[in-house]
């Protein structure tokens, strides 16, 4: 009984944790892919899987692009004031 209570006490915060950013790309891609797969011949599951993969890749690429832009903005020297 103690093990069950301890397991529940440790697992509850993990279950209530927010969804990570990488899952957002997968979820949105899976939703779009599922709809597209359904309309393209009743292959919603295959579309959802492909959409999840594509959405995860797109989200990862977008985050990397934003990170590179932020680093470039920090590395660029400030323009000299006009006299």
Q: How many domains does the chain have?
A: 1
Token readout for 52 is 């999840």
Percent of the chain with pLDDT over 70: 72
Q: Which of the pair, 15 or 49, is modelled with greater confidence? A: 49
The pLDDT score that the predictor gives to residue 65 is 93
**pTM for this prediction:** 0.58
Q: Are 36 and 55 spatial neighbours (Cβ–Cβ below 8 Å)?
A: no
Confirm whether 67 is domain-assigned. Answer: yes
* Domain of residue 42, residue span: 21-73
Position 17 pLDDT exceeds 80: no
The pLDDT score that the predictor gives to residue 66 is 93
How many angstroms separate the CA atoms of 32 and 53, rounded?
A: 12
Average pLDDT over residues 14-41: 75
Q: Are 58 and 26 spatial neighbours (Cβ–Cβ below 8 Å)?
A: no
Average pLDDT over residues 33-55: 88
Confirm whether 61 is domain-assigned. Answer: yes
How many angstroms separate the CA atoms of 61 and 53, rounded?
A: 12
């Amino acid at each position: 009984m103690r093990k069950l209570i301890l397991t529940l006490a440790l697992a509850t915060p993990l279950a209530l944790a927010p969804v990570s950013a990488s899952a957002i790309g997968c979820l949105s891609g899976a939703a779009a892919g599922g709809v597209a797969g359904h309309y393209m011949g009743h292959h919603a599951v295959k579309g959802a899987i492909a959409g999840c993969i594509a959405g995860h890749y797109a989200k990862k690429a977008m985050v990397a692009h934003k990170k590179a832009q932020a680093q470039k903005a920090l590395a660029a020297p400030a323009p000299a004031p006009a006299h």
